Amino acid sequence: MDGVLLDSMPLWNRAPALYIESLGKTPEENLGTVMFSMTMEEGCRYLIDTYELDLTVPEIMQGIVDNMLCRYEQDIPLKEGAEELLRFLKEKDLPVTVATTSKKVMAEAAFARLGISKYIDHIFTSDDVGCGKEQPDLFLMAAGFMKTKPQETLIFEDALHAVLTARKAGFKTVGIYDAASWAKQAELKKFCDIYVMSPKEAAHRGHHLVSL
């Protein structure tokens, strides 16, 4: 979802620092980068340990979620061509699920506002499997719902660590450029079956996608 369908990664990169600042502390310069591949729970534990916070994981998580949820409800935009790509997949009668490490309430709020809920069969989150995308559980759960084998399932991802996980589990991968991951684009291109600069380009190469 984030970085593939929604242009939300710039906000997520800033979210931990904004939260730490709200507590009167000075965040490390690269905090967003450090926490990029963590689940929300892992990130909260990192904040507790690093900044010696006298708060629980649920309290921190709720604080960050509350700050971000309003953005999903109000102004986070679609990435260029995201609806076009979803429409193409639906026109081909292909099942479409979302697998995200963000909270389901965020996805539901954004999808409803942006009018794309009708294209998505189900939303799976790291809360459903208890881990992030360093493990394939989230992807496997989504594929199980769609009744597709990994080798016949396309994973659209902007994050290198998620692509590597999906590839190792036997999935086909489509790498999508996102500015938040610009430093790892060369590696992303190397390990993906297809690499595109935007969902719009993916939609335009749709027949190539479904023939993988």
Angle between helices 9-22 and 57-74 (to 10 degrees): 130
pLDDT value of position 41: 86
Q: What is the C-alpha to C-alpha distance for residues 173 and 195, in angstroms, rounded to an integer?
A: 9
β pairing state of 154-157 and 172-176: parallel
Q: Name all domains of the chain by residue range, CATH numbers in brackets.
A: 9-74 (1.10.150), 82-210 (3.40.50.1000)
Q: What is the DSSP letter of 148?
A: -
**pTM, to two decimals:** 0.84
pLDDT value of position 39: 80
Q: Which residue has the tokens 């708060």?
A: 55
pLDDT value of position 192: 96
pLDDT value of position 209: 82
pLDDT value of position 207: 78
Spatial contact of 176 and 189, defined as CB atoms under 8 Å apart: no
pLDDT value of position 75: 93
Q: Tell me the average confidence (pLDDT) per consecutive run of 10 residues in the chain, 212 residues long.
A: 95 89 92 83 94 95 88 95 96 96 94 98 96 96 98 96 97 94 91 96 87 74
